[in-house]
Amino acid sequence: MVSRVNLDLQERLRKAEEAENAVQKLGGLAAEAPTLRVELARAQRQHGWDKARKQALEESQRKMTLVSEKQGRVPQMLDEVSTLVSALYHLFKEIETQRREATEYMAVVDRVDYEAELADAEAEQAHMGRDPSSVEYLIASRHGQIRVKKMMEESFPGFSYLKDCDLEDPMRRDVAQFILSHVVPLEKMPSNPSYDG
């Protein structure tokens, strides 16, 4: 019976020691759990960041490849646009120069009309025995820039640098006004895009 008790005790001791060893192992492992949780969360966050960074970098590179392809078209297009802008500028310049010359000739017409009217009025005043110089200011007031402008409008009605141009598109309107502003002095530029001078 003593041997049987010993055997039972030995068996129980063995099982207890096994359990004790298991508890010690699990206890050590259990103690690592908080640290492992933090490390796992950090690794998962890092993985998410790495994935988001990689996707964003790939998307950025894809977009910049498209940008580079499109930018490659800029030099030729800029050259074409510059050629057209230059042509339009020179056309506006020719129109402005010839319009100014036409206005100068119209001023000559006005001056001839003024001198003829003045000579007739002075002769009439002298014939009536009055001082001929008294009519000079009166006649001069009917001539000059205002009359020249009026005669130009009557002779060439509806003139406009941008006549028949479709200016509904703001970009087209801005381009036209920008080029025209380099031809016509700014102080003469009205807010109306169909500026007729």
Three-class DSSP category at 68: helix
Q: What integer pLDDT is reported at residue 186 of this predicted model?
A: 58
Are residues 53 and 98 located together in one domain of the fold? no
Q: What is the pTM of this model?
A: 0.62
Q: Under a CB-based contact definition with an 8 Å cutoff, are residues 109 and 155 in contact?
A: no
Are residues 84 and 67 located together in one domain of the fold? no
Q: What integer pLDDT is reported at residue 40 of this predicted model?
A: 87
Tell me if 186 is assigned to some domain.
no
Tell me if 22 is assigned to some domain.
yes
Tell me if 166 is assigned to some domain.
no
Q: What integer pLDDT is reported at residue 108 of this predicted model?
A: 96
Residue segments in the chain with a per-residue pLDDT below the cut of 50: 187, 190-197
Are residues 141 and 87 located together in one domain of the fold? yes
Are residues 59 and 2 located together in one domain of the fold? yes
Q: Under a CB-based contact definition with an 8 Å cutoff, are residues 160 and 196 in contact?
A: yes
The identity of residue 182, as a single letter, is H
At which of 142, 157, 172 does a domain end? 157
Q: What integer pLDDT is reported at residue 191 of this predicted model?
A: 46
First CA to last CA across the chain, in angstroms? 132
What is the rounded CA–CA span in Å between residue 188 and residue 10? Answer: 117
Tell me if 30 is assigned to some domain.
yes
Are residues 51 and 64 located together in one domain of the fold? yes
**SS3 assignment for 103-130:** HHHHHHHHHHHHHHHHHHHHHHHHHCCC
| Number of folded domains that form the chain | 2
Are residues 59 and 128 located together in one domain of the fold? no
Are residues 63 and 81 located together in one domain of the fold? no
Are residues 82 and 139 located together in one domain of the fold? yes
Domain that holds residue 32: 1-71
In tens, the pLDDT along 103-118 reads 999 999 999 999 999 9
Are residues 67 and 81 located together in one domain of the fold? no
What is the rounded CA–CA span in Å between residue 74 and residue 62? Answer: 19
Tell me if 184 is assigned to some domain.
no
Are residues 56 and 107 located together in one domain of the fold? no
Are residues 61 and 80 located together in one domain of the fold? no
Tokens in use for 42?
Answer: 């950090």
Q: What integer pLDDT is reported at residue 47 of this predicted model?
A: 94
What is the rounded CA–CA span in Å between residue 52 and residue 54? Answer: 5
Tell me if 61 is assigned to some domain.
yes
